[in-house]
Structure 1
Amino acid sequence: MSLANPVLQHFSINAFDEVYLSAVNRNQFEHQSAASIFTEQYQPLLKKDMLFVILGTDSGLLANYILEQGLAEGSRYIFVEHPQILDVLSIDIDASVADKLLIITPEQLAEQLAQIEYDVYLAKKQFQLMQSQACSTAYFSDYQDLKTHCQQVIEHAFFWHAQNHKQKSFIEKQFLNMADNGFPAARLRQRFVGKTAIVIGGGPSLDESLDWIAEHQHQLVVMVVSRAAKQVQAAGIHIDFVLTVDPQPISFLISKPIFDLPATSILVHADHGVESLVGQWPYSHFYTGSQLPWQPQDNVPTVATTVTNSAIRLAVEMGCQQILLTGVDLCHSAMGVSHASGSVHGTIGPKLDFIGEWVTTYEGKLAETTLQLFEAMQSLAEQAANLNGAQLINLAASAAKIDGIRYVPKEDIVLPGIDDKQSRLAEIITEHPNLLAKDALLALKQQLTQAQQDFAAISKHAKRAIAIGDQFTPTSQQQLNEIEKLINDKYSLFMAFIKFYGYSHFSQFLTTSQQDSWQESDIVARQGIYYHAIKTTCDELLHLCQQSYDKVLTRLAEHNPKVDLVWLSQQWIQQQQPRRYVLWLASQPSRQQQLTPAEQQAIAMLEAATKAQFAQQVQRDHQGKLIVRSLNQTPQKIHHLYTSGNAEGLYLVYRALDWYQDKDERAFTLQARCLAYYHEINQDYAQAFEVLRQLAPQYREEIEIKQLVMMALKSHQILAAEEYLSQLLSLSHLYLPLLAHIQKLAGKHQQALNTYLDYLDKYPEDVITYIKLGQMLAELGQVQGALDVFLHAANLDPDNPLIQKCLAQLQQAQSQLSNG
């Protein structure tokens, strides 16, 4: 009998004639019928054109409910159920819907989602993950692992689909940065041939290297990701190049300390970097990627998936032969911390609210990482294999081990000198001032004007195609074909770009219906969706062109010493770049002495806006306190580590939970759970019992009490096992057979008999418990009593071989007693 999931085969019937597994649903449907609960809580399951993945079937009731309600048009349903539960359920699925509603095991989910018929749902984000009532409460404890497994499978399935949607935000930032992407990073090629660069990330190991870097900085090209700039500068290290690629607004908030860097630091940003960083940087800067979103450029590319990838590529392009990494851990520290101390994310505690991937560090230990960082590890390994002779070395033994990147202790690194490093940097800065030249801005203005004309023309053709489709005639298809050929031939470059940028619109062109069922009206409708996607995308691009065009006009105005500063200040605030007044004043020293009262007021307004923008904080609540990470998913995480036998991972979580002791009272329970599981895996059952025994009763949940019972039994503390098991009976009568078994072990035979009878009075069809009762009576020499029990069990399950065997033995024993 499993203590975790007792008496799985036992069914109950509620007052509404609904049959369910007692161990799975307990009393969830005692006061309200399952059907009424489902009607209240699962209305989304009736939506059209959706893919639903539902964890658990609620003893089959939820699956039957969907079948009875009727499957929504275009929707598919994948129920994922534990195999032990499937073994005792019987759910009839009509052949007509068998391809639309599936009931599978967790191990089958990844293969199922890889099927081509599900691509459209993932691409269109028409997907919903739901939990059954039983899975949500997880009285059947193996549901914890089922949830963990399925969430990981779904996260992987969505990861690459999500990349297509991210491209849109990247392109939007490219448009906004067009007037600020000053010089291509290609101009940095071969500037430090044969030298050593150090790429400094924001990972926990950064703390270990700061002193060494400070000592040897004159021998290194120091390249720092923007989020780590504050810590590096505070250590007395000159940052030669600071790098950023993230287009999200959060990037500005965590990277704004770069504005405290000196004029001798150079910014290198992706063409899609967040505009509040790119457009307000006051010193020399370079961009990776392309200035025009629709036109590839011979430049240093922005390499996926992290800023570290781009930094390494830049170091190689600059000619560096040895590239050192620090703070590039790509995994969490032993304390579960994701970033170095002093950083924003390094101060909000260990990250224990996710189920991650476990990797091996250079020192041979296990460490946890996110899916995104795990993918970054793969991309770094691929990058390391194509470095044209450059060597990649990680200085941190605690970093994730990556093929092609060696670990070398800092003291063993050999550094060639860079005697003229400062002069090289000064030369770069002198050759590349901050503001884009006027002639370059005029060229951009012309290119944007041409792009606007082309996008407007394509939109006009698409609008005409939509009108033709709305009034469809026998000649309409020919007209549509001519429009399609025209726009693809005349605007081939822009059409490819439109489809790339407008992926989310064009994905609506995909359909969940089968092609062989299409009518002519379906084909016409899909053509309409296609041209609507072209028009909608063109209209969005025209808006972006106008925003970019307006910014070019602003930058041209900045070159005019007589510009209306009041108007200019309004543009800067609208473009979320109020700090540009600092750049402008530095470029127009004569104007500073001639400001009118209105212009002085405008400067004061810009100063206030700049202070407000820079005063914004990351992840703070309404009281201004940093938001503490959640422990909501930590129980699931701990259970996953336990069932996978990951003792090292459990101990790491146990230590990380120290941080939460005065912030979340759940930490007491979870920490004890971790340590008890850790000792159990290491077969120190007495110590596991002691850990839980010392946990205050108010912090013990059902899991801890069950664990106390199990560890007491494994460490031969029978009376303690009985004491704690009795506490479980208030939660479920299904623990009675185990209590009887423990009472039997303790020699309390009459109590054990009474407990068995009490249970069988409540569940009179439980054959397994009848067998255990009969075996106990037989062991006590009560042959007739045992024979009566097994005869009753045989009536319930006449084909059970164990019952028949026991009956034969008892009948033989009775015969011998009679003859004796």
Structure 2
Amino acid sequence: MSHQEPSLPLAITTNQFGEQYLPSINKNVFTSHGSKHAFQKQFKNELWETGTFHIIVGTDSGLLIKYIIEHGIPEDSRFLFIEPNSLIDTIKTLVPDLEQYSNQLILCTPDEWEEKTVDLDIDPYILDNTLRLTKSIAAFDPTLEEYERLNIEINNKLESTVYAIKITDTSARFISHQLKLISENYNPFYLLNGKFKNKTCIILGGGPSLDNHLPWIRDNKENLVIIAVSRIAKEILNAGIIPHMVFSVDPDIVSFDLAKKLFTLPEKVLFVYSNHANAELISQWHGKCAYLGPRYPWESKNEKENIMPHGPTVTNTALMAAVNIGFKRVLLAGVDLCYSKNGVTHTKGSEEADAGPFLSNEGQWVETYEGEKAFTDMQFVYATKLLKGQAEYAKENGTELINLSETAVKIKNIAHIKPENIEFEAVEDSIWDIIDKHIPSYCPTTNKSDNLTVIREIEKHINIIGEIESLAKDALKENQQLFKKNKDNEFNKKTNIKLAKIHKKLSEKYPSETALLQSYGSIFFREFIKPAVTEDWKEKELELSRNLYYNAIIESITEFRKLLKKTLKRTQSRVAEEKSPVDLSHSIKQWQEDGQPGRSKLWITRHQEEYKNLDEDTKKQLQDMVEDFEKILVTENMEWRNECKKSTSLDGVRAKLDKMMLQKNKEGLINMREALSQLKNQNEQAVSLQHLCSGYILAIEGKSQASLDELEKVLEEETQEQALKVMLTLSIDLLEKDKAETALERLSEKSQMFTPHYAEFLKLQNKYEKSIFTYTEYLKDYPDDIPVWFSLGKLYHEINEIELASMVFDHIIEHDPSNEAAQSYVEKIRQSTIS
């Protein structure tokens, strides 16, 4: 059964304020108060932020562009408007003077917008968190299906772009965490390179399918090198599985909260982490460890060869690490990269699973190994994209990848084999022996020596950035003199030569250090790298540009020096942990500052004889910190739990279901209905949305009566335009005239674009008086809608109200002298009068 949309004519009308717009797009929004009032109400002040990049779907018949131009484009802001191909020429006609604003305001089609964001230099705005994706009023509750599609498509692509740019931005956050871990980064993971050739490992992710595979993993653990992501420590421990390796990459504190059960694992477990992982997790770890990536954020002869981390997710990182150290075969379990059919994103026992299904998230539908469709969010979409490339790399390196889960996203070069069909070769060496042999345990003497090397590195770099700072200050002084002309009106050539020498020294003697400062202090450089509004720079602008650049270097050095001094102090405290005679005052203070009471427990374990000889006050300090640490490990993370609960909100679910109906996504609707039925709180709204799902599913299946019965059970506030249009079509198919009339009446109340259809339907039901009233009320708001005037004239003529019909047709000819249909009726009326 097809669901025909009412046609949307591109008639242009003028409201009482003299504003031209498209009623088929903007309905009756601008009828009573005009566009300025509507925009102020909709957007308030959010369009007037300085230094902001706005991507706006739709232009509200061009009036939103005019509104922004009239107000004035805020300083350093950009506006990119996107209109469907079917509207673009009409909008350009309505806003003829667009070209003069092309450096700051652009109108483009869906095929052009990504290229235009590059032209307008979007990256600095993304990194500054000043990118805004906004819907015009028309796109917010779209009449045009193209807007609905655009909203989804642009949001998906933009989320992926933002995610990609942000995770590759080696800015202050990651460098700061890298330096915070510098003392713990002493065993490079490269020590295991080539030590697992011809062996099979299994990577355990946190996806919902993991639960199905835990019994098989437990039964086959002697044949596997078990690699787990840190967040599932609780789940695998409850299943009786001890992993050989645990991986972590996330620097955020939530990764510590989710992985607390790690601290109950035995010391022999190898903790592998990226060089910028969470310090609270790594610095309090009690067992063997190895890091990924470079130890120092700058080039150093003390840098050890290592394997790089490959994100964005910990699973991506673990997979590439496994391939790079030589595993012959990598199995995946719980690496779903999509939601389960009931909307769950993570394995049982996780905060996400306990919170319930995630229903309103934006994302995409993907194919699983079992041939069905599954929903996934943007983080998973990006991880999947990179995993495809990693799978190709694994194939080239001779590593076979197998996903055990049939409900995981299907990815090229990753096969799916059921666990019971996996065959193993005999394992000759003990996995624990390999790890123990090649990854050194903590050694006080070695650790102290290593930290002394780190201290020398830090002190050396503090001196280097001091030299760069002096050069930048010299450059600022010279820059102020450069454009001061002499008596012959010539520029200061000597100053220009000095500036060139400074630039050359920075680029040749300190290239990596300068690049590091630009990366660490990217927030200071963004003003320098943002595009200028004018292309023809003058002397003052060139001077300002250099000032911005060298000031940014100085500001970056100021902040980076603070970080290096903190790092130096922390590293000195690590050396103090191994001093004899024992003096822990410096170390205890550092542990408290870093929020790492667990280091007291580590020190006691590693220095049992020294602990016995401590004074009672120091012993008490250490024991108090041990108790604090133990309390932290058993305290529930309510903040993360509440965040998970927010993700299970029903806000936005109705709109998501409407989109699925537009796309005829029956499988997705079935999954959403199942997810809604799993909600712990089966309130009125949840039940109503399940009826909406069922109604849409039955409509797609062609079961008109059953579909209509379900849709009539939906709450009025959840019965929006899409549902009403489906109900209208179903009612007509079933010859339920009264229900069809009710659906059209409700559609007309929501949008006047449906009013002419409603009036026509009333006429067909011989409800002439009501039809005439409906037409005339509509024409009060849209007096230029000639086709509707014609329909009204025909109605008068059909019911023999000849005088009124004549008045209507005369009105049409007055406004449209070439209207042959109206002229034909006028002639008919004239002939009938004569006869």
Check whether the contact 2:233–2:262 (CA below 8 A) recurs between aligned residues: yes
**Which residue number in structure 2 is paired with residue 289 of structure 1?**
293
- The aligned amino acid for 2:321 is L
**Which residue number in structure 1 is paired with residue 489 of structure 2?**
none
Q: Deviations over 1:591-630 (max 9, x none)?
A: 3333423113312431343245435544638999954533
Residue 532, structure 1, aligned to residue 551, structure 2: yes
Check whether the contact 2:356–2:678 (CA below 8 A) recurs between aligned residues: yes
What is the deviation of 1:103? 3.0
Check whether the contact 1:178–1:292 (CA below 8 A) recurs between aligned residues: yes
Check whether the contact 1:148–1:636 (CA below 8 A) recurs between aligned residues: no
**Which residue number in structure 1 is paired with residue 488 of structure 2?**
none
**Which residue number in structure 1 is paired with residue 383 of structure 2?**
376
Specify which of 188, 206, 213 is matched with residue 210 of structure 2. Answer: 206
**Which residue number in structure 1 is paired with residue 617 of structure 2?**
598
Check whether the contact 2:356–2:645 (CA below 8 A) recurs between aligned residues: no
What is the deviation of 1:12? 6.0
Check whether the contact 1:620–1:626 (CA below 8 A) recurs between aligned residues: no
Check whether the contact 1:179–1:441 (CA below 8 A) recurs between aligned residues: yes
Correspondence list, 1:37-76, <5 A: 38=39, 41-43=43-45, 45-46=47-48, 48-76=50-78
Q: Name the CA distance, whole Å, in 2 between partners of 1:749 and 1:116.
A: 56
Correspondence list, 1:143-542, <5 A: 143-295=147-299, 297-387=304-394, 388-421=397-430, 423-425=432-434, 427-428=436-437, 431-433=440-442, 437-472=447-482, 473=484, 474=492, 475-513=494-532, 516-542=535-561
Specify the SS of the correspondent of 1:358.
Answer: strand
Specify which of 638, 643, 649 is matched with residue 630 of structure 1. Answer: 649
What is the deviation of 1:779? 7.5
- The aligned amino acid for 1:209 is H
What is the deviation of 1:79? 2.5
Q: Deviations over 1:41-71 (max 9, x none)?
A: 5545455554332333344332222222333
Correspondence list, 1:549-560, <5 A: 549-560=568-579
Check whether the contact 1:49–1:512 (CA below 8 A) recurs between aligned residues: no
Q: Name the CA distance, whole Å, in 2 between partners of 1:5 and 1:671.
A: 30
Q: Deviations over 1:149-202 (max 9, x none)?
A: 332343244333323435432221111111111311111223332111001111
**Which residue number in structure 1 is paired with residue 660 of structure 2?**
641
Q: Name the CA distance, whole Å, in 2 between partners of 1:74 and 1:695.
A: 47
> Once structures 1 and 2 are overlaid, which stretch shifts more, 586-595 or 153-162?
153-162
Change (3 A) 1:363 1:801: farther
Specify which of 788, 803, 817 is matched with residue 769 of structure 1. Answer: 788
Q: Name the CA distance, whole Å, in 2 between partners of 1:77 and 1:426.
A: 56
> Once structures 1 and 2 are overlaid, which stretch shifts more, 353-362 or 736-745?
736-745
Specify the SS of the correspondent of 1:688.
Answer: helix
Residue 109, structure 1, aligned to residue 113, structure 2: yes
Q: Name the CA distance, whole Å, in 1 between partners of 2:7 and 2:356.
A: 34
- The aligned amino acid for 2:569 is D
* Percent identical residues: 28
Change (3 A) 1:485 1:660: same
What is the deviation of 1:515? 6.8
What is the deviation of 1:787? 7.5
Q: Kindly tell me the number of residue pairs found equivalent between the two proteins.
A: 815
Q: Name the CA distance, whole Å, in 2 between partners of 1:375 and 1:625.
A: 21
- The aligned amino acid for 2:506 is I
Q: Deviations over 1:644-697 (max 9, x none)?
A: 332222322232222447276543444333333333333333332121112244
> Once structures 1 and 2 are overlaid, which stretch shifts more, 137-146 or 397-406?
137-146
Q: Name the CA distance, whole Å, in 2 between partners of 1:726 and 1:518.
A: 60
Q: CA RMSD in A?
A: 3.5
> Once structures 1 and 2 are overlaid, which stretch shifts more, 648-657 or 89-98?
89-98
Q: Deviations over 1:277-307 (max 9, x none)?
A: 1100001111111112213642122123222
Q: Name the CA distance, whole Å, in 1 between partners of 2:209 and 2:768.
A: 61
Check whether the contact 1:661–1:668 (CA below 8 A) recurs between aligned residues: no
Specify the SS of the correspondent of 2:272.
Answer: strand
What is the deviation of 1:637? 2.8
> Once structures 1 and 2 are overlaid, which stretch shifts more, 764-773 or 643-652?
764-773
> Once structures 1 and 2 are overlaid, which stretch shifts more, 698-707 or 499-508?
698-707
Q: Name the CA distance, whole Å, in 2 between partners of 1:167 and 1:98.
A: 31
Q: Deviations over 1:425-460 (max 9, x none)?
A: 573488433766222122112122211111222122
Q: Name the CA distance, whole Å, in 1 between partners of 2:275 and 2:121.
A: 36
Q: Name the CA distance, whole Å, in 1 between partners of 2:533 and 2:803.
A: 67
Check whether the contact 2:15–2:30 (CA below 8 A) recurs between aligned residues: no
- The aligned amino acid for 2:714 is L
Q: Deviations over 1:762-806 (max 9, x none)?
A: 6444322244445667778999987875565444434456656xx
**Which residue number in structure 2 is paired with residue 614 of structure 1?**
633
Specify the SS of the correspondent of 2:639.
Answer: coil
Q: Name the CA distance, whole Å, in 2 between partners of 1:412 and 1:719.
A: 60
Check whether the contact 2:274–2:291 (CA below 8 A) recurs between aligned residues: yes
What is the deviation of 1:723? 3.0
Q: Which runs of 5+ in 2 are unaligned?
A: 485-491
Q: Name the CA distance, whole Å, in 1 between partners of 2:296 and 2:601.
A: 27
Normalization by structure 1: what TM-score? 0.90
Specify the SS of the correspondent of 2:169.
Answer: helix
Change (3 A) 1:122 1:174: closer
Q: Deviations over 1:325-347 (max 9, x none)?
A: 01111111112221111112222
Change (3 A) 1:178 1:680: same
Specify the SS of the correspondent of 1:386.
Answer: helix
Check whether the contact 1:284–1:434 (CA below 8 A) recurs between aligned residues: no
Q: Name the CA distance, whole Å, in 1 between partners of 2:641 and 2:408.
A: 36
Specify the SS of the correspondent of 1:263.
Answer: coil
Q: Deviations over 1:96-151 (max 9, x none)?
A: 33554333344442332243655555565554333434444557676444433332
Q: Name the CA distance, whole Å, in 2 between partners of 1:624 and 1:123.
A: 24
Check whether the contact 1:192–1:318 (CA below 8 A) recurs between aligned residues: yes
Change (3 A) 1:612 1:756: same
What is the deviation of 1:760? 4.5
Check whether the contact 1:294–1:494 (CA below 8 A) recurs between aligned residues: yes
Residue 582, structure 1, aligned to residue 601, structure 2: yes
Q: Name the CA distance, whole Å, in 2 between partners of 1:120 and 1:579.
A: 39
- The aligned amino acid for 2:185 is N
Specify the SS of the correspondent of 1:247.
Answer: coil
Q: Which runs of 5+ in 1 are unaligned?
A: none
> Once structures 1 and 2 are overlaid, which stretch shifts more, 553-562 or 16-25?
16-25
Specify the SS of the correspondent of 2:259.
Answer: helix
